[in-house]
Amino acid sequence: MLIGELADAVGLPSQTLRFYERRGLLREPGRGPNGYRVYDQSTLTRLNFIRSAQRAGLTLAEIGSIIDLREDGTVPCTHVAELIDNKLVDVRSRISDLAVLKLELEGLIERSQRLDPADCTDADVCHILSADRVAKPTTGAEPGSSS
């Protein structure tokens, strides 16, 4: 199968396939008598693996490390499990960060509904976001307070 046919089969641009080749994610394809790249079913299988790994949040570098292990004769499943465990830790952290951001944005929306645009000064730029007017989220006891 030629590069255009492969690209159509997986829904990726030909340039992406060439990029994956340069990164070592795809094996160098054979060449036909005309010099065109000729791909076999194993490339389609590899591309489906890459797409699946990307959907799981793995980076191309991480995917490359999995492929390298496999090509070196090592079953990469333990490595993959570690990668996805780490990815889940990152996702949980991002969810926590996003929850804090959500609360901050909700507070700013509430604030924007209370403030009068006529009271906004040039010095404030926008008094909804003015640092001296926006309450900072607290993470426990205030400094100087006694517990």
| Whole-number Cα distances in Å, 53 to 56, 89, 98, 136 | 5, 17, 24, 39
What is the C-alpha to C-alpha distance for residues 6 and 41, in angstroms, rounded to an integer?
9
Please say whether the beta carbons of 120 and 126 come within 8 A. Answer: yes
In 12-76, alpha helices (H): 14-23, 41-55, 60-71
Supply φ then ψ for residue 31, to 5 degrees. Answer: -120, 140
Q: Cβ distance 9 to 43 under 8 Å?
A: no
The ranges assigned to domains in the chain are 1-58, 76-137
Judged by DSSP in three states, 63 sits in helix
Q: Is the CATH number 1.20.1090.10 carried by domain 1-58?
A: no
CA dihedral 122, 128, 130, 132 (to 10 degrees): 130
pTM of the model: 0.73
What pLDDT was estimated at residue 146? Answer: 46
Tens of pLDDT, residue by residue over 17-67, are: 999 999 999 998 999 999 998 999 999 999 999 999 999 999 999 999 999
Which residue would you say has higher pLDDT here, 116 or 31? 31
